[in-house]
A = this chain, B = another copy of it.
């Protein structure tokens, strides 16, 4: 059996841990060969491959990023993309593919699976917004980085009695904002799932100042004010899927400044949330995903994706995982309103 491996979409701490455990178990236990496809689906359509043996995966467990490179290329939007993918697989005798990616990358995997290519998926996103799995690797690391930043900002806010706004990742889902905001003791958390009332946010800010504490407002990059409140500036999305500068965080800070008379400042955490060594939990989860993905290949469980439910790794249909994202449930968000203001 020869198995191809590719990583697609934005990089994410834990990708290398998946690759390592796939290869370690596949080679040592099942005697498989592995081929890496470079730069996501791009390697599949342009026939860019690398051999992927045990020496290639030594020492990569704690390293962020992906040794295979990544891209946002969608082969189904390329001329004869499917044919070129098949050509590459045939040329290298690849029997099955392990595809590690987010919604877009796995969406392609699901479609190619329907068309007969043998694919197993591994969900990956720092945003934690893949359906069917409790968590995705990369998310815990991102929350750790964002929380550490919030911890640091508290002392500055208190020393100057100043409101600070922190913009974190999360274009469609507020998981990072919610987890890091709660862990960091934020006084307001604004997420895409819940359009916010800027008046209410300013009220929280003011009530905090009244008891002589300085407020921290955590804003997901995809948070939006309720209708009528905001004139959006130009916002563009980069190839990692993040909203670029001059985003919602700055808008919120400006509104707080204008409405409360207290100058607020913004910090945009940006790409630091997605890089660097994975947290131990993400290494654990990514390692288990890799082990179970190669088991799925052995079992012929194609068209499936690994997922975590509680402490178990399970298989779910790729199709289920890629239909709409997993967003923050209103009741979960409401659990925490006691901490706002």
Contacts and interface: CB of A to CB of B under 8 A. Distances in A.
A151 interface: yes
Interface string A176-189: 00011011110000
Interface of A: 10-11, 13, 15, 21, 24-25, 28-29, 58, 61-66, 69-71, 134-135, 140, 143-145, 147-149, 151-156, 158-161, 164, 179-180, 182-185, 213, 238-240, 245-246, 250, 263, 265-272, 274-277, 279-281, 283-284, 287-288, 291, 309-311, 335-336, 338-339
A310 B276 contact: no
B238 A265 contact: yes
A279 B279 CA distance: 10
Contacts of A65: 154-156, 158-159
Contacts of A25: 338
Nearest to A341: B28
A24 B143 contact: no
B335 A62 contact: no
A280 B159 contact: no
Contacts of A263: 239
B246 A338 contact: no
A263 B133 CA distance: 33
A309 B311 CA distance: 9
Nearest to A282: B183
Contacts of A58: 213
Contact of A270 (B21, B151, B267): B267
Nearest to A16: B155
B283 A156 contact: no
Given A280-B144, A310-B310, A152 B69 contact: no
Contact of A160 (B11, B182, B310): B11
Counting chain B CB atoms within 10 Å of each CB, which of A13, A71, A184, A275 scores highest? A275
B272 A11 contact: no
Contact of A245 (B24, B179, B246): B246
A155 B280 contact: no
Contacts of A152: 64, 145, 271-272, 274-276
Nearest to A273: B152
A180 B61 CA distance: 13
Contacts of A180: 280
Contacts of A24: 338-339
A147 B280 contact: yes
A10 B155 CA distance: 11
26 contacts: A24-B338, A61-B183, A61-B185, A64-B152, A65-B156, A70-B159, A134-B311, A140-B280, A145-B152, A147-B283, A149-B272, A152-B274, A152-B275, A152-B276, A153-B272, A153-B275, A154-B275, A160-B240, A179-B280, A179-B281, A239-B263, A240-B265, A245-B245, A246-B246, A267-B271, A309-B310
